A and B are shown apart, each in its own frame.
Chain A
Amino acid sequence: MVLLLAGGRGFTRRDGLRRLKERIENIPGATNVRYEPSRLRPRTVVADIDVEMYLGDAFPRQTATLEVLWRPHEGKDVQRVQWADEAVSLGWHKDDDHPDLGTTHFQLEASGEVVHEPGQIEVEAPLGFLEVCLDRLPDALRATSES
């Protein structure tokens, strides 16, 4: 009776995370792409990133992790695309933490400070959302090395 009990969203989630993992495996510089907490029960996809290989350019920081959470939910999915290296943690979050900033907010933590801004992403499909974030990520990272 699990189908009636839980609505089957967990299986939608496993399917979506599989596609997200395939996409992340194609990111330049991404290695050790894995599910957390486990392959059988994935909640997020995590990758180690060689930053200069990813950016195709010199950068002051060498390694990072990229973590993508996706949790389908009736009404509004939760999705977070989060980059973390030795100096900054930044990402785009579609969740209920800052409804005043719109459907999605951008969060930047650096030097002990946290900044939240409107994320302005209206895309629903998890791969489409990730692609917008990947499109913006290089500029967001370069901005953190200039300040």
Chain B
Amino acid sequence: MSEKEPIWPDEMDAGERVRHVALTRTEPRNAGWIADEAAVSRDTAVKYLTRMVEQGDLEVVETRNGDAYKPDSVTQFLGEVRQLAEEHTLDELTRELNAIGNEIDAWKDDYEVESLAALRQTIGRDDLAGDERRERLNVIEEWAYNVEVREAIQLAISLKSSLTTLDADSLSGESSATLPQEG
């Protein structure tokens, strides 16, 4: 028996199911597809999708099959940066940068490459067995993920610093005193 009918946790209502399906897409999907996956009617899916577009969570892409939806990458990225800045200490963020750097260094050694792009090029080598190629493809995916998370952590550190400076200024009442004088 092939499982094409989705099963969902009992506690997830229609809105949560539509939201989860829409926010986990890597390519745009139309309302009918999302409705089938979320086990809701098309009209219900459209109602929630429209709300998510208005809130900036989704972007609409016009396709041959009508409007299609995918996560708004800017909203998603900024949300992640904000969450990293709010939920983690500077020390935690710094230690994660170090862990990412160490893992990338280990991959460079293991595969004798200088960069992610160089590792991608090795996939075309004739001497790689199927298992070796799959392993490298996995590492390529995780390497790209590491790079993406590293960028977000670096921005989160900047955001934390800016917020700390703003907070310190407002607390000490210096913000107005440091403004340039007119005239």
Q: A interface vs B, CB < 8 Å?
A: 2-3, 5-16, 19, 23, 26, 37-38, 40-41, 43, 71-75, 77-78, 96-97, 120-128, 131-132, 135
Contact = CB atoms under 8 A, between A and B. Distances in A.
Q: How large is the interface on B (under 10, 10 to 19, 20 to 34, 35 or more residues)?
A: 35 or more
Contacts, number: 129
B77 A3 contact: yes
Given A8-B148, A16-B24, A19-B20, A125 B6 contact: yes
A12 B23 contact: yes
A128 B37 contact: yes
B111 interface: no
A132 B17 CA distance: 15
A125 B26 contact: no
B83 to A, nearest CB: 9
A130 to B, nearest CB: 9
Interface in B78-111: 79-80, 84, 88, 92-93, 96, 99-100
Given A13-B145, A41-B100, A131 B9 contact: yes
Contact of A11 (B6, B20, B27, B152): B152
Given A11-B148, A40-B153, A97-B134, A120 B1 contact: yes
Given A40-B88, A125-B6, A8 B99 contact: no
Interface in B1-57: 1-4, 6-9, 11-12, 17, 20-21, 23-27, 37-38
B166 interface: no
Interface string B127-139: 0000000100000
B99 A37 contact: yes
Contacts of A12: 23-26, 71, 76
Nearest to B1: A120
B37 A38 contact: no
Contacts of A13: 145
B174 interface: no
